[in-house]
Structure 1
């Protein structure tokens, strides 16, 4: 960091540094670094600080009098008129979003100042000043409001953080001055802002630099330079927009001070909140405080989705087969080798080894998702409580409370490890996914039994322009190398999300499985970004980690030991006898749930459910035999199962017609036997013959239990949700809810639902607020009560929800909120 950040020795304190020639070392590491004198730094800092505060005061006075007028005029200007204003005031403004990222790619990554730094200095110093972003109607007004109504010191840490890519890649090289610290945080005016303090003159100056609460001299100067030009640019923009008013009169008393105007929120503009839009606007707003409530909310919703996924795999044969085939279609065995030959596992008639690997993957991923997000959510809850505890005493000039810093460092480590797992999934699955498989080849395996597969790009592959844009971003993620370290995961994920947003063709290149992995990456990335922007304390994470890292790693290894044991248990060899139960051959899992309940259909439903139960019972036995008791807090749930066919009484109305059964009365509930919730792996729970609904929630360990007597679930009674009141909806929404809670006795032909109709239905009830997260993830928050949330994935790649998926959405809504089909009533009826 010395060469990139402006330098300063930190061997052991000021007294240890006198005899070492740090200037020679710095110039040896990076010859482009200028070694400055204290007089030079003080002169530059003083001049820039005065200019920064002068421009700030001018901008502030202009906005106090004219901000509403500026907002109205800017919104009415055409794109060409806005562009003229921007280029007249910043002639060489880069055209594209995040020009630093583009410059980094164009100049072959980290080249150093001598090659590209001077040419692209503006790109790296002001990465958020670009035409693509500032031409949007809201961006410049947001930036004016933030910078004109808040002092420069509020942005010092964020402005320095925005230059991260240029600094770590050495495309920006601040001057070096040893044994001094520059003070920015806590400054009240130009005389204090950028003040140079010698370590020998102040007892805390050295500690300020080590803990990163203040800045190295070179770091402070680049912040002052960035703010100086930015604030002058904003003043000039105001003058251009208010061109009929002489510059000297803009702040005169001729124009009275006006109330601060309000810009429309994303929800007011589009009808929905958007996390992606909020992230895109963040650099142009006042730096946000750590929002632990949002982090906890995102992870909590994702945890519920992981529970629902694990549940649906065991409850719904159709969903199980869908997921099984999806995993199979992303296996690298499906890639041709360099000689054009198929993998040995595909040449075996029953493909038993391949299906064993698929069955192991589906079981382990469901377990790992649940455990990972359970742990992340637990830590988020702890941190939220700590943040609430200390929020009134935290000061930018003071260290964080030790208890809170420890929790942050631990949480960041778990987030980082989660990212590594997701990147590994992305690397293994994307190259084999149907849209990309033809661009990669395998090395021929040394023998037919090896599970090791080496994949490489196919020579001479002819890609489309959009494929050439998308693949480097994906490769940047899955390679997880120096470039990703330089750029940072949040920036790459944001760039990927932006490309998918503006290029619909890019979405078609991502399968549902890949889109889901990217969605998880985006959620975890947003958590990491929140902590990275917890400034100025985020600047001190690395130093604070030095004495804590080994303990955190040791605790993580101990916490995740059971995860490794389950993965080992679910390997191909151990599942050799189980795989025949999970292979979707001979229509083992055919599940005609969309059809009316007749004797034949009911028998087919029951047979598919029984086959699924047998598969998971066998998997559970393997895991328990190999791993024993796996303790952990979980939920116990009950599954819907189809009861035996009972001939309905013949009446005049249905005489001569095929007998049907109302499925609303046909569901029976039984405990969900699973390695995750403590039901018996060795003894299958007898079917419950009662049709009484039973929902429970307990804390349990992952171990076998005794067999249960029929009709007596081994669970504590759980209070049923209150009976929902009738919700009157329009015809468009009514059609959606008829499909979500499909009743074949009422509706004969279920169809697809468009995603826009689903959004309309969920929000038009007045019960939910919708928010677009990253990728395909949408979050719905209840507006009343406990404000609980639920997440759904937007269908991929088409914006249509298939009936089988809609049915699962309905079951999730029933479990989460007690919704049923008969609570929705058509308006006017």
Structure 2
């Protein structure tokens, strides 16, 4: 709803955006009566009606609280300037019971659990007993709880943030923390129309909480309308929250420093000290965790929009989508693995209420089922590439605009129109992109192997229909962990009122906390579902970053109202080629590829882990021919339905001059030799024996191979294979130094060498394993892989959600993502080999670059 001064409209919250001025009968409405507003907006029966409070009372309360806030803020700041290092050391040495006593003495009745508001919300939605869903403290101070504050770093973080930065820096974040309470009606701010309360930018008690009448101040209405400042009711609950938090922190400091007399605690008796450094997680354990960063966020200074992080997350994900498509076309074993993985998570795998299998799985109908699986795998690969490439490009454009307008962006001013429009467009695309993983959860969770015991399928009425009805299986008893996991997952995939209230980032945070804490919960997730959660977390993190762009993020919903139709139309136009691809891959169009892609007859068996023999080489070549035939047919089908895919990421990738490695024919004698560092002659080297274009069809169609500006693949270091033809031989020997991960000869030795310890060297030798050597390949533990990547000194690691880990080069904005093996913490050799190929394509790495570090 557009807010206009002549309406004197004071919205209760985001629900107001759903109403149109033309639908409201404003005649005779008393805009100072909260009950009239509730009736006008149809909210009378939904949420409690707020209490009206007169301007004089609001000013008095705000002045009293502001005075107390700044008194405690100055005391806390003075204490920290002199004693922060001592407080950190003393707190770290205290036992859990000692910490607990200090906390509960300073805050009687403190909630015991993490995010008590979410616990109460879940209990309310499930009508559980034993949890007081009306407990006001839970919703007003969800970050004040024993579980979080008893951790060694949390209280020191909160003290540092609140004592070294003004209360106004936390105003928007403190109100945002109450979101679950305000949208559910558990917190009801008072009602006062035609006034605005100033919090943002105020650095003294006189200005902080000042109440301005729209009639007396020329900017007061505009500040409220654009959410730069606060409604009076919002402002009062923020002041109340901050007053108690600062009082609590001062008491905690006094208890920790109880041996120092209060009279001298903040005097010149103790000189001012440099601000101490509190170790970050990466400094403590070698890598970062998105889950821990999310858990610590309420106790730190509110972060600002980090478009660099957004771009790197989406860039790495877009590169992973391209690598996934590459592996599907190059590696028959990977292709078959993906088909079986999707198969095991399709709802046809569920038995119906009578214990019968789905008609598509019955003898003679397998082709129909595998056609659906193939369409699933190919369609997701294509759409993921399009979506993440588009989001990456928008993130790059946003960074350019942010730099362009950096000099004029101010918290007291509106964002430049071009920049605001781009942010709103990006936000819409992110929300649309999140629907893909949410739908994958809806379809896949109930059918995944470990979850099938909880669900049952209704009998199929039409054997040709793809519509499947699934419900919970009756008579199945679930323990608390199973109940909590399924509630969280259901909240995500149903995408209804519970998700609207709690919002995607919070639900994902709670899901990741459960998975980290409970191995049983983790064991219930299939590899595919863990990957979907990881993809969803990337989109959620980008949305969270936009929500941190305060104070402007508070106005995004209002700003969207006049632009939403245009953004939706633009998205529809942009996504038309994507919709065409999906339509081309529908079941009715894939009959020609069903038999070619069905892996049941082991046509894609690919024994790369075995020593080269004539039989194994022929098996490799047979699988590669089958895969090439499959993709050639898919390309013909898609091209016949979609044309040349002009303007799409798929066209760019399929027409680029990259090549697929293929196994050469077996012969008994080698045609070349190469020398290693020790001077030993080596044979049986695949040096450009057979290379094929990524897509013969689109390579022929391509008129140019220029890449979209900013595409990460354009900066990749792809090793050029040697043009010397060679064959394989029956007796493999030690590989020479210039062998690449793909088995081709690099004419020159590595230009750089990376010294690593013995543990990392063993890992890299497996990842970059060459089948011509006599050593036997093996699996790699995930911890060894983490150690190997970070021990190079070139990468830092970050745990995202689900199974996704991100590694970024410390000297440049370049990132790559890998999935942690699930449920075992071991990377199979075939997967490790693919990791090596990805590292080779991304950074030009080969096995010979890694040498043992001198002791």
Q: Which residue of the partner structure matches residue 808 of structure 1?
A: 834
Deviation at 1:3, TM superposition (A): 4.0
Q: Which residue of the partner structure matches residue 251 of structure 1?
A: 266
Alpha carbons of structure 1 residues 89 and 325: separation in structure 2 relative to 1, 3 Å: same
> Are residues 1:100 and 2:120 paired?
no
Report Cα offsets for 1:496-541 as digits up to 9, x if no partner. 1111111122111111100000000111001001111111111101
Q: Distance in 2 between matches of 1:275 and 1:428?
A: 26
Deviation at 1:479, TM superposition (A): 0.6
Q: Which residue of the partner structure matches residue 431 of structure 1?
A: 446
Q: Secondary structure at 1:405's aligned position in 2?
A: helix
Q: Distance in 2 between matches of 1:6 and 1:228?
A: 29
Report Cα offsets for 1:432-472 as digits up to 9, x if no partner. 00010121111112221111111111111222332112110
Q: Distance in 2 between matches of 1:567 and 1:307?
A: 18
Q: Distance in 1 between matches of 2:599 and 2:16?
A: 62
> Are residues 1:202 and 2:223 paired?
no
Assess if the C-alpha contact under 8 Å between 1:60 and 1:149 holds in 2: yes
Report Cα offsets for 1:302-344 as digits up to 9, x if no partner. 1111000000000000000000000111111111112221111
Which one is further off, 186-195 or 387-396? 387-396
Deviation at 1:412, TM superposition (A): 0.5
Assess if the C-alpha contact under 8 Å between 1:154 and 1:287 holds in 2: yes
Assess if the C-alpha contact under 8 Å between 2:48 and 2:188 holds in 1: no
Deviation at 1:27, TM superposition (A): 5.7
Q: Distance in 2 between matches of 1:643 and 1:218?
A: 74
Q: Which residue of the partner structure matches residue 705 of structure 1?
A: none
Deviation at 1:563, TM superposition (A): 1.3
Q: Secondary structure at 1:197's aligned position in 2?
A: strand
Q: Distance in 2 between matches of 1:649 and 1:168?
A: 74
> Are residues 1:670 and 2:692 paired?
yes
> Are residues 1:783 and 2:810 paired?
yes
Deviation at 1:97, TM superposition (A): 0.8
Q: How many residues align?
A: 784
**1:679 corresponds to which of 680, 683, 699:** 699
Q: Distance in 2 between matches of 1:155 and 1:568?
A: 48
Q: Secondary structure at 2:591's aligned position in 1?
A: coil
Deviation at 1:227, TM superposition (A): 0.3
Q: Which residue of the partner structure matches residue 308 of structure 1?
A: 323
Q: Which residue of the partner structure matches residue 312 of structure 2?
A: 297
Q: Which residue of the partner structure matches residue 256 of structure 2?
A: 241
Residue pairs, 1:317-332, within 5 angstroms: 317-332=332-347
Deviation at 1:5, TM superposition (A): 8.4
Q: Secondary structure at 1:618's aligned position in 2?
A: helix
Aligned-residue Cα RMSD (Å) equals: 2.7
Report Cα offsets for 1:698-737 as digits up to 9, x if no partner. 569xxxxxxxxxx99xxxxxx9999442223222112111
Deviation at 1:576, TM superposition (A): 1.3
Assess if the C-alpha contact under 8 Å between 1:4 and 1:170 holds in 2: no
**2:821 corresponds to which of 795, 816, 821:** 795
Q: Which residue of the partner structure matches residue 660 of structure 2?
A: 639
Q: Which residue of the partner structure matches residue 393 of structure 2?
A: 378
Deviation at 1:673, TM superposition (A): 0.7
Deviation at 1:4, TM superposition (A): 5.4
Q: TM-score, normalised by structure 2?
A: 0.88
**2:789 corresponds to which of 751, 759, 762:** 762
Assess if the C-alpha contact under 8 Å between 2:750 and 2:848 holds in 1: no
Q: Which residue of the partner structure matches residue 497 of structure 1?
A: 512
Q: Which residue of the partner structure matches residue 691 of structure 1?
A: none
**2:470 corresponds to which of 455, 468, 471:** 455
Alpha carbons of structure 1 residues 320 and 697: separation in structure 2 relative to 1, 3 Å: farther
Report Cα offsets for 1:264-321 as digits up to 9, x if no partner. 1111111112222222211111111100000000100011110000000000000000
**1:221 corresponds to which of 229, 236, 257:** 236
Q: Distance in 2 between matches of 1:536 and 1:78?
A: 40
Q: Distance in 1 between matches of 2:280 and 2:748?
A: 34
Alpha carbons of structure 1 residues 667 and 595: separation in structure 2 relative to 1, 3 Å: farther
Q: Secondary structure at 1:665's aligned position in 2?
A: coil
Alpha carbons of structure 1 residues 264 and 720: separation in structure 2 relative to 1, 3 Å: farther
Residue pairs, 1:168-207, within 5 angstroms: 168-207=183-222
Q: Secondary structure at 1:107's aligned position in 2?
A: helix
Residue pairs, 1:643-662, within 5 angstroms: 643-649=664-670, 662=684
Assess if the C-alpha contact under 8 Å between 1:6 and 1:173 holds in 2: no
Q: Distance in 1 between matches of 2:176 and 2:304?
A: 15
Q: Secondary structure at 2:535's aligned position in 1?
A: helix
Q: Distance in 2 between matches of 1:214 and 1:827?
A: 58
Alpha carbons of structure 1 residues 661 and 570: separation in structure 2 relative to 1, 3 Å: farther
Q: Secondary structure at 2:752's aligned position in 1?
A: coil
Q: Distance in 2 between matches of 1:721 and 1:437?
A: 54
Q: Secondary structure at 1:48's aligned position in 2?
A: helix
Assess if the C-alpha contact under 8 Å between 1:3 and 1:33 holds in 2: no
Q: Which residue of the partner structure matches residue 34 of structure 2?
A: 23
Report Cα offsets for 1:575-621 as digits up to 9, x if no partner. 11211000113321111111222222211111110100000111111
Assess if the C-alpha contact under 8 Å between 1:638 and 1:670 holds in 2: yes
> Are residues 1:510 and 2:553 paired?
no
Show structure 1 runs of 5+ residues with no match. 652-659, 684-695, 701-710, 713-718
Show structure 2 runs of 5+ residues with no match. 1-9, 673-681, 710-722, 725-745
Q: Secondary structure at 2:197's aligned position in 1?
A: strand
**1:90 corresponds to which of 94, 107, 112:** 107
Alpha carbons of structure 1 residues 699 and 214: separation in structure 2 relative to 1, 3 Å: closer
Q: Secondary structure at 2:775's aligned position in 1?
A: coil
Assess if the C-alpha contact under 8 Å between 2:29 and 2:36 holds in 1: no
Deviation at 1:796, TM superposition (A): 0.7
Q: Distance in 1 between matches of 2:15 and 2:571?
A: 35
Q: Distance in 1 between matches of 2:473 and 2:803?
A: 29
Q: Distance in 2 between matches of 1:535 and 1:34?
A: 28
Which one is further off, 67-76 or 438-447? 438-447
Q: Distance in 1 between matches of 2:564 and 2:163?
A: 41
Q: Distance in 2 between matches of 1:809 and 1:5?
A: 45
Q: Which residue of the partner structure matches residue 715 of structure 1?
A: none
Q: Distance in 2 between matches of 1:765 and 1:592?
A: 31
Assess if the C-alpha contact under 8 Å between 1:4 and 1:169 holds in 2: no
Residue pairs, 1:387-406, within 5 angstroms: 387-406=402-421
Q: Distance in 2 between matches of 1:370 and 1:628?
A: 18
Q: Distance in 1 between matches of 2:480 and 2:453?
A: 16
Deviation at 1:744, TM superposition (A): 2.4
Assess if the C-alpha contact under 8 Å between 1:740 and 1:807 holds in 2: yes
Q: Distance in 1 between matches of 2:566 and 2:246?
A: 45
**1:67 corresponds to which of 54, 79, 84:** 84
Deviation at 1:259, TM superposition (A): 0.9
Assess if the C-alpha contact under 8 Å between 1:53 and 1:189 holds in 2: yes
Alpha carbons of structure 1 residues 794 and 7: separation in structure 2 relative to 1, 3 Å: closer
Assess if the C-alpha contact under 8 Å between 1:10 and 1:210 holds in 2: no
Residue pairs, 1:528-543, within 5 angstroms: 528-543=543-558
Q: Which residue of the partner structure matches residue 124 of structure 1?
A: 139
Q: Distance in 2 between matches of 1:571 and 1:638?
A: 28
Deviation at 1:75, TM superposition (A): 0.6
Deviation at 1:629, TM superposition (A): 2.2
Q: Which residue of the partner structure matches residue 77 of structure 1?
A: 94
Assess if the C-alpha contact under 8 Å between 2:445 and 2:529 holds in 1: yes
Report Cα offsets for 1:395-429 as digits up to 9, x if no partner. 22211111111011000100000111110011001
Assess if the C-alpha contact under 8 Å between 1:11 and 1:17 holds in 2: no
Alpha carbons of structure 1 residues 722 and 308: separation in structure 2 relative to 1, 3 Å: farther
> Are residues 1:749 and 2:776 paired?
yes
Which one is further off, 221-230 or 98-107? 98-107
Assess if the C-alpha contact under 8 Å between 1:116 and 1:171 holds in 2: no
Q: Distance in 1 between matches of 2:696 and 2:345?
A: 26
Q: Secondary structure at 1:478's aligned position in 2?
A: helix
Alpha carbons of structure 1 residues 184 and 787: separation in structure 2 relative to 1, 3 Å: closer
Q: Distance in 1 between matches of 2:595 and 2:765?
A: 37
Q: Which residue of the partner structure matches residue 687 of structure 1?
A: none
Deviation at 1:667, TM superposition (A): 5.3
> Are residues 1:212 and 2:260 paired?
no
Deviation at 1:82, TM superposition (A): 0.8
Q: Distance in 2 between matches of 1:189 and 1:818?
A: 56
**2:61 corresponds to which of 22, 44, 60:** 44
Q: Which residue of the partner structure matches residue 707 of structure 1?
A: none
Q: Secondary structure at 2:583's aligned position in 1?
A: helix
